[in-house]
Amino acid sequence: MLNPASCPASTSSQWTSFTGLASHVLSQPLLVISVLVGLFGLISLAPRYRGRRPLRALVATAILSYLLILFPPTVNVAEKVLARPLPHDSGMTADAVVILGRGAELNPSRVAVAAKLWEEDRAPLIFASGIVDAPKIVNMLHSKGIPAQALDGEGCSRTTYENAKFTAALLEPRDVKRILLVTDTPHMLRSLLTFRNFGFSVIPVSSPTFDLSRRNRTRLVMREYVGLIGYGLLGRYFTPDDSARGLLSHLDEPSPQEAIVFNNS
């Protein structure tokens, strides 16, 4: 397991703060509707000008669209749209299973999926990625009887981009090229595109989100649409990124057994 003390400085704190704030605000109906209704009222009370009517129509459309988004059937459709471009699991074996940490609520389902892949002999290594979640995921897998030598990870990444970057830095020298990528369905498309950008051949294996509350699931889906657009604008899908190689000089990788000891501390 990558020692957190040797983690390179994160450059993604602003992006994490932005997406977290955007999804948090969008998942607060009272706040969003109040702001939009207030804006509609201000436009209506403003002195007459040529652009007032289309601007009012735009705000009214935003209110109606937002209310529609809040309905569970709409969230289901939005999640299916995110899943539609994903290739089906071909059943092929891979060089490693890579699990992306995404919070305590989602870790158990990820661990269950990864453990099943291990039992099916789909890959000889399970690699967990995420600054808070990776150590917990490794421990959960070890408690299920998966041997320490088959478990590894990195506890540095704070974003999907860093998940891919730091995973590539550690697995590329081990000749890991094809991975079984485990994350939730809304997160999978952005993750798949980002990991491909770092040279991995990716087989997506989605973990379920049915244990999430309706509000948290809505927030998760909204965050992914913000993230997908943002990563596209930042060029993180189709611009080759070889910077992972330069990280190796900064990373300290203990043995798998040391990882288990570290995680229990």
107-119 helix and 133-143 helix, angle to the nearest 10 degrees: 50
Residue 78 banded pLDDT, cuts 50, 70, 90: confident
- The CB-based long-range contact list for 17-23 (8 Å cut-off, 24+ gap) reads 18/230, 19/223, 19/226, 19/227, 19/230, 20/223, 22/222, 22/223, 22/226, 23/219, 23/220, 23/222, 23/223, 23/226
Report the SS3 class of residue 126: strand
pLDDT given at position 2: 59
Residue 176 banded pLDDT, cuts 50, 70, 90: very high
Instruction: Report pLDDT digits (tens) over 99-152.
Output: 999 889 999 999 999 999 999 999 999 999 999 899 999 999 999 999 999 999
* Segment among 60-69, 89-98, 181-190, 203-212 with least mean pLDDT: 60-69
Please determine, for residue 15, whether its predicted confidence score (pLDDT) is greater than 60. no
What is the architecture of the domain spanning 89-263? 3-Layer(aba) Sandwich (3.40)
pLDDT given at position 183: 97
Please determine, for residue 262, whether its predicted confidence score (pLDDT) is greater than 50. no
